[in-house]
Amino acid sequence: MAFKRLDIRSIHVFPLAQRASMSQVEDILIDPDLEPAAAPESVLSRVRDCAAHIVAARKNQATVMLIYGAHLVKNGASSLVNRLIDQGWITHLATNGAGVIHDWEFAHQASSTESVEKNVATGTFGTWEETGRNIHLALMVGALSGKGFGESIGELIETDGISVPSAGELSLLISADPTHPLTPARAELFHAIRTHQIREGRIPISHRWKYSSIFRSAYKKGIPITVHPGIGYDIFTNHPFFNGAVIGRAGGWDFEVFGTSVDQLDNGVVMSVGSAIMGPQVFEKSLSCVNNLRLQARQPIVQGHNIYVVDLQDGGNWDWTKGEPPKDNPAYYLRFCKSFSRMGGGMQYIQSDNVLFLHHLLRRLNPPKS
């Protein structure tokens, strides 16, 4: 039985400049050279511990991974992350779909964030032409050269545009080798060109505020930034361009890139900052995949890594360095703590604002010159 489906292709979208955006990038970005706000010793001691493990990991060429939620971008911490990237402290970044959206919108038009309550009621939440169109188009074109979600967005922002092949060229490639691994990606773009009247050739897309973008910084530095979306989670779903196959392919390839970094995590560091669901869920599956492959090759599983989970929520008054609490303790149901506590190595929970943690971490790794 084929159930009736909502006609997403008939959604009416609006110019992004028409939206009443609630955040301006130049108002929120944190100056990384300023003195960070005061923090309690409970946070500072863990920052010192985290920084020491990062220094050791980089000396040993082990992975230092930052998994982050979109509020990190909305809070203006992109400038702090960009400094950590530029200084070579981070080797892998990972975020969710919202982390892409705010990053790209800030880079493109210097503003982001809308009123969910007001705009859902008017049917306008997320229905912004440029956001949905450009993100989908970047993923479709990036896939033709094997690029996943994060790399495609980084390239879009850094190069200020997208180069679209002709429908004729795509048709010839598909018919010449229908079983080629890239045939599905070619077919999706071919269909989009015909359906949405995409013009062929170079499409310029300006990013005047690209200095704010984490994706651009990672792309320039040549380090992976992966995106782990959920179908229906993000506003690029609310657009006639929406294509679950495109989103799924890009996210699937990024999951494999994520796994490569996890495979280099021995004695490394994972920081999960404001990612209560995506971070622990993706990490635990990836670590299991890596350990599966290692055991097949008669190699030891990933070990010696240190995990720092940062969130504003109360950690349940539980010392997570001792493992997880019993099931009758409410803290047991804190997924962002429990999952990471099961991932081997050492795990510490830091109840802190993400800006405060990252600013103090940056200062610890790069102390001011006297």
Per-residue pLDDT tens digits for 23-35: 999 999 999 999 9
The whole-number pLDDT of residue 339 equals 93
Contacts with 89 (C-beta within 8 Å, 6 or more apart), sequence order: 54, 58, 64, 365
Per-residue pLDDT tens digits for 171-189: 999 999 999 999 999 999 9
pTM listed for this prediction: 0.96
What CATH topology corresponds to 20-91+264-370? Rossmann fold (3.40.50)
Distance CA 313, CA 323 (A): 18
Per-residue pLDDT tens digits for 68-94: 999 999 999 999 999 999 999 999 999
50 touches 363 (CB < 8 A):
no
* Residue 315: pLDDT band with limits 50, 70, 90: confident
User: What's the average model confidence in pLDDT over 328-337?
Assistant: 89
User: What's the average model confidence in pLDDT over 327-337?
Assistant: 89
**At residue 364, what are phi and psi to the nearest 5 degrees?**
-70, -40
Q: 124-161: b or e for each residue (b if 16 or more CB lie within 10 Å)? A: bbbbbbbbbbbbbbbbbbbbbeebbbbbbbbbbbbbbb
Q: Is the pLDDT of residue 370 over 80?
A: no
Distance CA 177, CA 230 (A): 31
The full set of domain ranges for the chain reads: 20-91+264-370, 96-111+119-241
